[in-house]
Amino acid sequence: MTAGASSKVFADRIGRIEVSATMAVAAEAAKLRAQGANLVDFGAGEPHFDTPRHIKEAAIAAIQANFTRYTVVPGISDVRKAIVERHAADFGSGYSIDEAIFTTGGKLALFNTIQILVDHGDEVILPVPYWVSFKDIIQYAGGKVVYLETSEAESFRITADAIEKAVTPRTKAIILNSPSNPAGSVVSQEDLERIVHLAHDRGIFLLLDECYVYLNYSGKPASGGSYTWAKEHVVVLGSLSKTYAMTGWRAGFALASKPIVANLSKLQSQSTSNAASMVQKAAVAALTGSQECVAEFRAEFIELRDYMLARLAAIPGITCAKPEGAFYVYPNISAFLGKGGVKTATELATRLLHEAHVVTVPGEAFGTAEHIRVSYPVTRQNIDEGVRRMGEFLTGLA
Ligand SMILES: Cc1ncc(COP(=O)(O)O)c(C=O)c1O
């Protein structure tokens, strides 16, 4: 490919990021499946439930009523009202409609927030292990990722003390994802409050990825958005994907101060414009309808987590911190590194895929070298079969 007068084809910024590792794993698995392989898929980051019927019906009704045209960029007032009222009812936050924007998935809310806040050289504190996209999105904006190590012995818990030590005069933002992907770690209410305080006092933006906020198994779900005095520096990033089993719909949002939301809307006006109109109607149904499905999904995930942990514990050499939320376990596989020619978690996950036909995601994608991520929203039979295959493969390495 030639590049005309310029000597290079692609802009620097696209060279600063990699293809999302979870998407890459999914693509490799799809290739094997197309060749007829019978895979057990612990790779996907999504609930195995169907989207609840009342949500689907709202979208179908919207299409039938020809609600299929452009809407205002940040979303119709009904959807923004539903977002702020749901969040206020569940967490005691106090956002107005002008402080909410509906986006094409939670990932876009995060991407756009970082684009409008982070400049070249700005530091963004990111606890490890981190969800794959945080690092790349920060780097795309030209920001510098400041990795904050956590301790596996303490279930990868993030504390206010650790965050405080990582702050420098160049810190622009802190990312908190609680419960977290991949480790399922939860920030305690006390630490959350202290982190909100320290960010607000120092003029640092606190980006709260609440994608799994309803999948908190350690107690009552909490949101930093409830500290209304810190609104100026807090951005709540929400998603309907996991809460309502709506991953393919692309429904997310941000709640923040008016200037932040106005700038998010400005950027969105020059890229995706409004999120799909019928999806906005579906989101209204999800957020204002019965929340029983959320409680049901949560209860089932807790059982599946315990089921998965019990089976993994039977594989000699695997150790695993108990996740307090989300729907992943993050077992330590260091006992197998150096055995059977396997040197890294990536090699282990690749061989698990090709030789045992089990899909997992290697820890390197999340910033740690000795783990694999195992998603458990699958049937119990699949957990049994997948862990049996893993056990056979891993024992065979010895
Ligand atoms: C931590 C975290 N944040 C955000 C997202 C994005 O969710 P979505 O774009 O589907 O709303 C995901 C999806 O896997 C996630 O794990």
- Residue with CA at minimum distance from ligand 1 atom 7: 106
Nearest atom within ligand 1 for CA of residue 251: 11
Instruction: Kindly give the distance from the C-alpha atom of residue 107 to the centroid of ligand 1, in angstroms, as a whole number.
Output: 6
Instruction: Kindly give the distance from the C-alpha atom of residue 132 to the centroid of ligand 1, in angstroms, as a whole number.
Output: 10
Instruction: Kindly give the distance from the C-alpha atom of residue 157 to the centroid of ligand 1, in angstroms, as a whole number.
Output: 20
DSSP state of 353: I
For a substitution probing ligand 1, which of 181, 210, 214, 253 has the most ligand atoms within 8 Å of its CB?
A: 181
Q: What is the pLDDT of residues 9-60, one digit of tens each?
A: 999 999 999 887 777 778 889 999 999 999 999 998 899 999 999 999 999 9
Strands (E), the chain: 40-41, 100-103, 123-127, 144-148, 171-177, 205-209, 234-239, 252-255, 328-329, 358-359, 361-362, 372-375
Which residue is listed with tokens 């049901």?
A: 296
For a substitution probing ligand 1, which of 102, 209, 211, 215 has the most ligand atoms within 8 Å of its CB?
A: 211
Q: Strand 205-209 relative to strand 171-177: parallel, antiparallel, unpaired? A: parallel
For a substitution probing ligand 1, which of 186, 242, 328, 373 has the most ligand atoms within 8 Å of its CB?
A: 242
Nearest atom within ligand 1 for CA of residue 107: 9
Is 384 strand, coil or helix? Answer: helix
- Residue with CA at minimum distance from ligand 1 atom 2: 211
> Going residue by residue through the chain (398 aa), what tens digit of pLDDT does each one get?
666 666 789 999 999 998 877 777 788 899 999 999 999 999 988 999 999 999 999 999 999 999 999 999 999 999 999 999 999 999 999 999 999 999 999 999 999 999 999 999 999 999 999 998 999 999 999 999 999 999 999 999 999 999 999 999 999 999 999 999 999 999 999 999 999 999 999 999 999 999 999 999 988 888 999 999 999 999 999 999 999 999 999 999 999 999 999 999 999 999 999 999 999 999 999 999 999 999 999 999 999 999 999 999 999 999 999 999 999 999 999 999 999 999 999 999 999 999 999 999 999 999 999 999 999 999 999 999 999 999 999 999 96
C-alpha distance across the termini of the chain, in Å = 47
For a substitution probing ligand 1, which of 110, 132, 133, 330 has the most ligand atoms within 8 Å of its CB?
A: 133
Token code pair at residue 287: 């957020």
Strands (E), 292-354: 328-329
Instruction: Kindly give the distance from the C-alpha atom of residue 239 to the centroid of ligand 1, in angstroms, as a whole number.
Output: 7
| Ligand 1 pocket by Cβ (under 6 Å) | 45, 105-107, 131, 177, 181, 209, 211, 239, 241, 247, 252
Instruction: Kindly give the distance from the C-alpha atom of residue 392 to the centroid of ligand 1, in angstroms, as a whole number.
Output: 32
> How far is the CA of 234 from the CAs of 140, 199, 373, in angstroms?
22, 8, 29
pLDDT at 203: 97
Q: What is the pLDDT of residues 243-302, one digit of tens each?
A: 999 999 999 999 999 999 999 999 999 999 999 999 999 999 999 999 999 999 999 999
- pTM as predicted: 0.95
Chain mean pLDDT for the chain: 95
